[in-house]
A and B are shown apart, each in its own frame.
Chain A
Amino acid sequence: MLGGIGTLVAGGGVVYGASRLDSDSAEPTSSESNRTQFHSRSETTGLGIELGGHPIMGEMDAPVDVYYWSDYQCPFCRRFEADSFPKIVENHVRPGTVRFVFIQYPYLSESSMTAAVMDRCVWRQVRGGDAARYLDWHSAVFDAQGEKNSGWASAENLLEITANVEGVDADAVETCLDSHGTEIEAAIETDVQQASQYGIRGSPAFVLYNRESDKAGKIVGAQPYERFDSAISKVKNA
């Protein structure tokens, strides 16, 4: 299949650590919106990904994890969101094959970090209730994507977008930005550094991981759905 996925699944030169679940104790939350479940879970996967703070979409016992690194200012991420993402959700997330973990990877400019911090604040705000609202916000921001550094990803404009997303409290998000912005930014920086350990140098980027067999593969860029479909099957059967 993919060069990257083949390499990782075969373990050729890229060997990840053994499975390790640090914590299974956090309260999972989920909700239903367009039949897509979202969860919050505090644990570290066998691949070393700390799930805490990241939206998880899909069944928690889905056999394949897909870790998705993105930047809201990245046009290639928007392309993925428009083309392959809906098909992955329809054909792999909803049927219970994949659980999709959203990880921020702001690298294009300061506004990318602004959007990334707001993403985490939105998740904090909705995860205890109608968690699937996160996807509405996530999609609304990508839909509103403008030219890099044109101001579309300023805090003010993003809060305006937030206010128009039903079920997301823009005031609570703003409060989160003020009171937890620095702490969230530090956590995102850690995620960015960790991404480099997986050889991620641009976005969108994906690591597919079979938790049971501890096999993984990587896809980079807005590739066609068929490539994801094939990669998911390959990792699932690895």
Chain B
Amino acid sequence: MNDAVDAHISRFVAAFGYPFTSTGRTVATFAFAAVTYALLILSSFPTYSMQMLTTDLGYLDEAIVALTANTYQSVGAVALGLIVVYAVLTGIALTTAIGRIRHAGGTSARGLSSVLPGLLASGCASCGAGLLGTLGFVGALSMLPFDGNLLRLAGLLLLVAYLSRLGDPRRCTIPSATGGE
């Protein structure tokens, strides 16, 4: 049991460190994180974002700043912090996932299949706020426990679980008793 936990922790640390092993990976990680943050923030008020951006993409910065302020004022610093952490972790997960696909030869169906579910699951959990708004559940997020912070936390935990399973994509790991590779 302890060995399995230790293995997960060491794989998480390895996956977490991988994006910072070269300048290119670091830049890619922050670029992914920035795009993820923008998408998450814009999805907090999708109709507003759509109206602004379909008129002029130049409104992108204004929309992000306005919705960041709105998120902070309406659901607080903790929620905004969770979104930022989620965006950074997604950047790490994407860079690590790409590394895994590249090191596996680029055509590994198994590699892809292990990458996509984690990202999709965590993405759905995190963008629930935007989806709820889009589907018409007005104020649904404010009715969720802790203003939807549990939903955001669930997305974060899924990402952490995903990274702790992935490890350093440059290394093959021995399958553990818990099913990890």
Interface residues of A (CB under 8 A from B): 1-4, 74-76, 79, 107-109, 147-148, 196, 199, 201-202, 219-224, 227
Give the residues in chain B near A227, CB-CB below 8 Å: 51-52, 55
Q: Tell me how far the C-beta of A2 lies from the nearest C-beta in chain B, rounded to whole angstroms.
A: 5
| B176 contacts partner chain A, Cβ-Cβ < 8 Å | no
Q: Tell me how far the C-beta of A122 lies from the nearest C-beta in chain B, rounded to whole angstroms.
A: 24
A221-B47 contact in complex given A201-B138, A202-B138, C-beta closer than 8 Å: yes
Give the residues in chain B near A147, CB-CB below 8 Å: 73, 76
| B66 contacts partner chain A, Cβ-Cβ < 8 Å | yes
Which 4 A-B residue pairs are closest in the complex by CB-CB distance? A221-B48, A75-B73, A107-B139, A3-B54
| B175 contacts partner chain A, Cβ-Cβ < 8 Å | no
Give the residues in chain B near A201, CB-CB below 8 Å: 47, 133, 136-138
| B181 contacts partner chain A, Cβ-Cβ < 8 Å | no
Give bound CA distance, A167 to B149, whole Å.
43
| B74 contacts partner chain A, Cβ-Cβ < 8 Å | yes
Closest residue of B by beta carbon distance from A112: B139
Q: Tell me how far the C-beta of B88 lies from the nearest C-beta in chain A, rounded to whole angstroms.
A: 25
Closest residue of A by beta carbon distance from B59: A224
A196-B45 contact in complex given A3-B51, A74-B74, C-beta closer than 8 Å: no
Give the residues in chain A near B136, CB-CB below 8 Å: 196, 201
Beta-carbon contact of B51 and A220 below 8 Å: yes
Give bound CA distance, A227 to B137, whole Å.
26
Q: Tell me how far the C-beta of A191 lies from the nearest C-beta in chain B, rounded to whole angstroms.
A: 13
Interchain residue pairs with CB less than 8 A apart (12):
A74-B74, A75-B69, A76-B66, A108-B74, A196-B138, A201-B137, A202-B138, A219-B51, A220-B48, A221-B52, A222-B66, A227-B51
Beta-carbon contact of A75 and B55 below 8 Å: no
Give bound CA distance, A202 to B12, whole Å.
39
Q: Tally B residues with Cβ within 8 Å of A.
A: 22
Give the residues in chain B near A76, CB-CB below 8 Å: 45, 66, 70, 74
Q: Tell me how far the C-beta of B63 lies from the nearest C-beta in chain A, rounded to whole angstroms.
A: 9
Give bound CA distance, A3 to B52, whole Å.
8
Most B CB contacts (10 A, CB to CB) among A107, A201, A219, A223 go to A201
Q: Which of B43-78 contact A (CB under 8 A)?
A: 45, 47-48, 50-52, 54-55, 59, 62, 66, 69-70, 73-74, 76
Give bound CA distance, A3 to B50, whole Å.
7
Give the residues in chain A near B133, CB-CB below 8 Å: 201-202
Give the residues in chain A near B142, CB-CB below 8 Å: 108-109, 148
In the complex, per-residue mask of B76-97: 1 if CB is within 8 Å of any chain A CB, else 0? 1000000000000000000000
Closest residue of B by beta carbon distance from A74: B74
Give bound CA distance, A38 to B55, whole Å.
33
Closest residue of A by beta carbon distance from B143: A109
A3-B55 contact in complex given A75-B70, A76-B45, A222-B66, C-beta closer than 8 Å: yes
Give bound CA distance, A107 to B48, whole Å.
17
Give the residues in chain A near B76, CB-CB below 8 Å: 147
Q: Tell me how far the C-beta of A72 lies from the nearest C-beta in chain B, rounded to whole angstroms.
A: 13
Most A CB contacts (10 A, CB to CB) among B59, B69, B142 go to B142
